[in-house]
Amino acid sequence: MEKKGTILMQRYELGRMLGQGTFAKVYHARKLSSGESVAIKVIDKEKVLKVGLIEQIKREISVMRLVRHPNVVQLYEVMASKTKIYFAMEYVKGGELFNKVIKGKLKEDAAMKYFQQLIGAVNYCHSRGVYHRDLKPENLLLDENGSLKVSDFGLSALRESRRNDGLLHTTCGTPAYVAPEVINKKGYDGAKADIWSCGVILFVLMAGYLPFQDSNLMEMYKKISRGEFKCPNWFSPEVRKLLSRVLDPNPHTRITIAMLMENLWFKKGFKPVETRTRKEEEATFTQQDIAMSFTLDCNQEDQKANVANPMKLNFMNAFDIISQSQGFDLSNLFEKSSIQKAESRFTTQKPVSTIVSKLEEIAENENYKVKKKDGLVKLEGKKEGKKGQLGIDAEIFEVTPSFYVVEVKKSSGDTLEYQDFCNQGLKPSLKDIVWAWQGGDQQSQQQQPENG
């Protein structure tokens, strides 16, 4: 059970609880290495597995990896233990925009500033193929400078989620902020639905109450479907005109974000945030750049064993491999891998010294020479094959201090000889240290990890 002062994964010290829901709690935390404040979202793995929400968690990770914008809460790291999943996220200490609204309506210039930041962030999300689908003041946070941050992508959708008709079909969101086409259940454009929600938010910020409200939910839905709302008399003519175009119940004639951003009222004092293009982001995609990994809980004995290991290893972004948790395979979440595809690879919890010793033992038994350098173990056959001597590279990547991926691939020689060697010599001999194989022509879980 999490409580104040708990040290999480030897990386974060948990502080006070910031909020909680059915499946998750959010804590303030301090990063031990830097003293930096972060927010830790703690998700109960057993609960989400029980109700089938793992896909939603995976989608949220995938979306937050895609979206990196000053007005979007940043995901730093994802970690997991036997029973919990942890998101380490940017700590936004100004609280929810909702807290400002419940104190009363905002002045037009303040509402405009937040609306501009919201539209800038949503436009960026859409350019990355991400639709939020639950935009409301409760999901908009404010930092110490009063800048808006979009949060909670738990109900978001990716462009790839659309059906053959090019539309999304999952009904979700908060009733008062949901677009009429989402309610009608005939399919909807995620971007158009988000624009509607942004319009409701602008109305709420300036009016202090909702544009569509009724004690009877069905009556409220009728008002939404007809676009029936009335602006209070303090709304300027420019705002009234803009809202009539944003809260248009017909998605085909509703204003687009591109058109909205050209609106004269919207452009007053608007300073677009500079962001990198998708190509630029992919060109600079590194582990350090995204500062993200999937960390697994490990015991101190494993860590001590690996500290003594003299081999210099490369670090593997664990989003590219299978995670240690059953039913929580993150390996296919992202469209781009930072690892060159290998012919086969395996995961293991054994120390590097054990991995290397096992490879040396196999080499000796099969009459191969061994060379070692910086996490790479090269096995070289002593006899000539069809295409010369068979050479095999086994490269060890560190994911955490007690979890490794070993990529095995042919560096020279005949492919059939390589496959025979792998299936008849290498894989059977490694079964005591392998947790799971991926790739190649064999996939089997040899042992259940202790803390997965």
Q: How many CB atoms lie within 10 A of CB 68?
A: 16
Judge whether 163 and 169 are in contact, CB under 8 Å.
yes
Tokens read off for 140: 């908009």
CA geometry: angle 429, 433, 435, nearest 5 deg: 115
3-state SS class at 239: helix
- Report the distance separating Cα 393 and Cα 378, nearest Å: 5
- Report the distance separating Cα 189 and Cα 181, nearest Å: 9
Query: What is the chain's percent helix, strand, coil content, to nearest 5?
Result: 35, 25, 45
Task: State the DSSP string of 151-180.
Answer: ---TT-EEGGG--TTS-B----S-GGG--H
Measure Cα distances from 57 to 1, 49, 61, 251 in Å: 21, 10, 6, 29
Task: State the DSSP string of 263-285.
Answer: -TTTTTT--PPP---HHHHHHT-
Dihedral over alpha carbons 253, 152, 327, 319 (to 10 degrees): 90
Q: Tell me if residue 134 is catalytic.
A: yes
3-state SS class at 348: strand
- Report the distance separating Cα 161 and Cα 185, nearest Å: 16
Q: Which of 134, 248, 302, 320 is catalytic?
A: 134
Say how many Å lie between the first and final Cα of the chain, rounded: 18
Tokens read off for 228: 């029936």
- Parallel/antiparallel/unpaired status of strands 388-400 and 403-412: antiparallel
Placement of tokens 């010793």 in the chain: 357
Q: Cβ contacts of residue 87 below 8 Å, gap of 6+?
A: 40, 41, 43, 61, 75, 77, 78
- Report the distance separating Cα 55 and Cα 48, nearest Å: 9
Which residues does the annotation mark as catalytic?
Answer: 134
